[in-house]
Chain A
Amino acid sequence: MIHTHRFETVVVGAGGAGLMAALYASQGSETAVLTKLYPTRSHTGTAQGGIGAALGNLEEDRAEWHTFDTIKGSDYLADQDAVDLMCQEAVEVIYELEHMGLPFDRTPEGKIAQRPFGGHTSNFGEKPVRRACHAADRTGHMILQTLYQQCIARNVRFFDEFHVLDLLLSADGQATGVVAYEIDSGDLHVFHGKALIFATGGFGRMWEITSNAHSLTGDGPAIALHKGIPLEDMEFFQFHPTGIYKMGILITEGVRGEGGILRNRDGERFMERYAPNLKDLASRDVVSRAIYLEVRDNKGIDGARYVHLDATHLGRQVVETKLADSAEFCKTYLGIDPAVEPMPVQPTAHYAMGGIPTNVDGEVQINAQGDVMPGFYAAGEVACVSVHGANRLGTNSLVDLVVFGKRAGKAAAAYCQQNDWVELPAETWEPTQAMLQNMMGSDGQHNVADLRTEMQALMMDKVGVFRTEEGIQSALNRVRELQESAQDITVMDKGKRFNTDVLEAIELQNLLDLAEVTAASALARTESRGAHSREDHKARDDENWLTHTYASKVDGKVSLDYAPVNITIHHPEERTY
């Protein structure tokens, strides 16, 4: 059965960016939010340590220092005008979250509490600064809950457990709607919109060790890619230094913000060698590489692929109040009490710096020249503004969500008021239904879980923290074979209701399509910058590579184009911490 709906603004995804966008879009347009989960299940809820803004509640801080740190952290690949705007607007939006009821921790005088975080400094790199506003180590949980609460207060319309499978473009290339699969009934729904906002999050499930939820399969960027929209800077994917060994579950950078120390098998504080100034609070790409190099040098604990994160000297009070969730993960999954024993950690795939290219109003760009598709917006991890460049600073994902979610929501509402409805294309749900029927009827050779496991191991090994031409090329070749295998799979569940079997198969295809552009973008970039570290091209090459990558699929092949980085404030310098 096919259902059709008309909403002026249709938001896809109900994490921090989607909910913030919905709050603002709904003030000027009739708004619906579609999510394949329930809103409170979104991955924003797992963010722990804090949200950065130069409130200066505990010591002097300035937005322009936050801007500098973000640009330096990005290894000079972020667009500087966008970064400056984000860091300026971050301050106001934190106050706005507090007004909405977000239960921030407080200073003794009752202001929002702040703590140090990796790469955040005062006076242009001089020393660590307390900038991360926090609510224990469940800041993301509080942001997600607070934004959802506000959506309830304002009667925002939700379609929970609706999995979007297609984007509908008009004949002249405008975004006019989406096709969603209602998971409970198995029915297809066509949502006709004036403005569409994609806020579907990241795709960390491409890698074996990841902090990301099972649901982070890059559905939004994959759908955009299928519709001819390029994906920007896909070669830059952040590995967070401290995931729980083997499991990937995140241990917040807040542990190091509170004074936690990384140690190798000799008990040495090895970050002193890699980042003499900021040490354990250097940028994430720097710390992740250091851990890999220690392990390679046989300095991993007991020779295995992990090091220790030591918080034993912080005292039980700090561990149990300021780092409560991280402590609980260790107790639950490892039987370790971090107030007494160090935590075993290894880098874990964490965050997509790349994604659907947008300008600062969330408008989606359809080429490297920056032309936009009218009525189509993206915000949050799915988008690449670019404010994170080649490496995101801790806390800035949450800043990005609220600042650009808000801007996209406002822009969508204004767009709806100024523009008429554009007709849907002649075919809407038909291709999606044909695809579903085809998959459901398939009795192919391959098992989805096997293909996914192989992709994850391959990407971890060849397109992970360190990369070489040979490795990336072999991964790319194999990903292309896996894409073919993923067309020849078995879906065991042939039913209509709550068929998560078929959805997992579609999610795998999405991940493989993104793996292909990730590897192709990484192969072409013959330099090392931020999270993209090429062992065969170890230096940063500003002469040739101070550019954003735009990868699209043209006639089944990956096509790469490039656009210059917007450098308006800080000239690129050597990056040391």
Chain B
Amino acid sequence: MRIQMRIRRFNPEADSKPWWGEYWVDVEESDRVLDALHQVKWYQDGTLTLRRSCAHGICGSDAMVINGRNALACKVLMQDVGDVCQVEPLRSMPLIKDLVVDMEPFFAKYRAVLPYLINDDLPAEGERYQSQEDRARYDDTTKCILCAACTTSCPSFWANEDYIGPAAIVQAHRFIFDNRDAAADLRLRVLNDVDGVWRCRTVFNCVQACPREIDVTRAIGEVKLALMNGLED
């Protein structure tokens, strides 16, 4: 089938502001939006620039706005985009070129929540034990691939780019609710900041945007409850 691609273009070396590029591609219904973008890049305009790697929704490189919604280009099929497929870079991120945005501010917020297990109390030999129930407590938030689809879909983030954002909260949740970790209070202190978890207005855009189907708003809610009531043992 023949589909029109409308792609938001910007070349920092030539353009003063972004513009819409229009291209026609022949694709199969089962092709991904990423395949259509590759068709444009490989056979029509080699200057089209995007990030991608694994092409099956695991590496998190190709988050972008597709027909108005945040998604991974490798996880949206052409049969689901209608007659015109409109593709833009993630919102509220510094634009570098075409569909490529500067990810550094996003990763800085990730690093701010101390995203690593803190616990020096190790068993003399073998593994630490953890019950299946305790392991299940934080399973959902271990799925995060740091693609930034959630954070850049959030109206609170659009309004205030200092908001730490859902992705960083998801990463914090993964450790706060892991009973092997001993530094929940440090992370909760970061999230209790004026630009922390309270900026969330439960709009649920993040849940819709997450390509890993993480229940992001629920995770944020659990962090809020932990701040109000303390962590249950």
Chain A interface (Cβ within 8 Å of chain B)? 37-38, 40-43, 45-46, 55, 94-95, 98-101, 103-112, 135-136, 138, 141-142, 145-146, 149-150, 152-153, 184, 213-215, 247, 249, 325, 328-329, 332-334, 447-449, 490-493, 495-501
Contacts and interface: CB of A to CB of B under 8 A. Distances in A.
B43 A447 contact: yes
Contact of B135 (A106, A145, A150): A106
A105 B127 CA distance: 12
Given A38-B103, A448-B42, A498-B100, A141 B58 contact: yes
Given A98-B128, A109-B129, A103 B47 contact: no
B30 A215 contact: no
A497 B97 contact: yes
A136 B143 CA distance: 10
A338 to B, nearest CB: 15
B145 A141 contact: yes
A136 B142 CA distance: 10
A328 B47 CA distance: 33
Contacts of A153: 114, 116, 118
A382 B53 CA distance: 18
B60 interface: yes
Contacts of B59: 37, 40-43, 45-46, 213
B103 A333 contact: no
- Interface range, B side: 35 or more
Contacts of B42: 447-449
Interface in B51-71: 52-61
B122 interface: yes
A407 B143 CA distance: 29
A88 to B, nearest CB: 15
Contacts of B14: 495
Interface in B138-154: 138-139, 142-143, 145-146
B16 interface: no
Contacts of B75: 332
Interface in B107-146: 107, 111, 114-119, 122, 125-132, 135, 138-139, 142-143, 145-146
Contact of A214 (B43, B52, B126, B213): B52
A490 B127 CA distance: 55
Given A41-B60, A106-B132, A152-B115, 12 more contacts: A98-B127, A101-B175, A101-B178, A106-B130, A141-B145, A145-B142, A149-B116, A149-B117, A448-B42, A495-B11, A497-B97, A498-B96
B130 A491 contact: no
Contacts of A149: 115-117
The 3 closest A-B pairs by CB, nearest first: A101-B117, A492-B46, A110-B129
A388 B52 CA distance: 29
A135 B136 CA distance: 11
A492 B45 contact: yes
Given A95-B127, A101-B117, A332-B75, A491 B58 contact: no
A112 B127 contact: yes
A220 to B, nearest CB: 16
Nearest to A246: B30
Contacts of A328: 57, 213
A499 B42 CA distance: 13
Given A333-B30, A495-B47, A497-B12, A111 B54 contact: no
A329 B135 CA distance: 24
A146 B132 CA distance: 20
5 contacts: A100-B116, A100-B117, A101-B117, A329-B56, A501-B49
B31 to A, nearest CB: 10
Contact of B54 (A46, A447, A491): A46
Contact of A45 (B54, B117, B118, B178): B54
A215 B58 CA distance: 14
Nearest to B141: A103
B232 interface: no
B95 to A, nearest CB: 11
A497 B126 CA distance: 49
Contacts of B43: 447, 449
Interface string B88-113: 00000000111010010001000100
B145 A106 contact: no
B142 A135 contact: yes
A448 B42 CA distance: 8
A529 B72 CA distance: 40
B180 interface: yes
A328 B56 CA distance: 10
A497 B96 contact: yes
B53 A215 contact: yes
B117 A214 contact: no
B190 interface: no
A99 B122 contact: yes
A493 B54 contact: no
B144 to A, nearest CB: 8
A136 B45 CA distance: 41
Given A108-B132, A498-B100, A214 B13 contact: no
A85 B117 CA distance: 29
A213 B142 CA distance: 22
B120 to A, nearest CB: 10
Contacts of B139: 103, 136
Contacts of B46: 490-493, 501
A495 B116 contact: no
B53 A497 contact: no
A152 B75 CA distance: 29
A16 B115 CA distance: 17
B145 A45 contact: yes
B77 interface: yes
Nearest to A46: B58
A106 B14 CA distance: 55
B181 interface: yes
Nearest to B47: A493
Contacts of B54: 41, 43, 45-46, 213-214
Given A46-B58, A95-B127, A105 B117 contact: no
A247 B42 CA distance: 19
Contacts of B131: 106, 110
Contact of B116 (A45, A101, A109): A101
Contacts of A492: 45-47
A498 B9 CA distance: 13
A105 B30 CA distance: 34
Nearest to B122: A99
A375 B122 CA distance: 34
A37 B53 contact: yes
A493 B100 CA distance: 15
B143 A138 contact: yes
Residue from B56, B75, B146 whose CB has the most chain A CB atoms within 10 Å: B56
Nearest to A334: B30
Contact of A103 (B55, B118, B145, B178): B178
B115 to A, nearest CB: 5
A46 B180 CA distance: 25
A152 B111 contact: yes
A215 B52 CA distance: 8
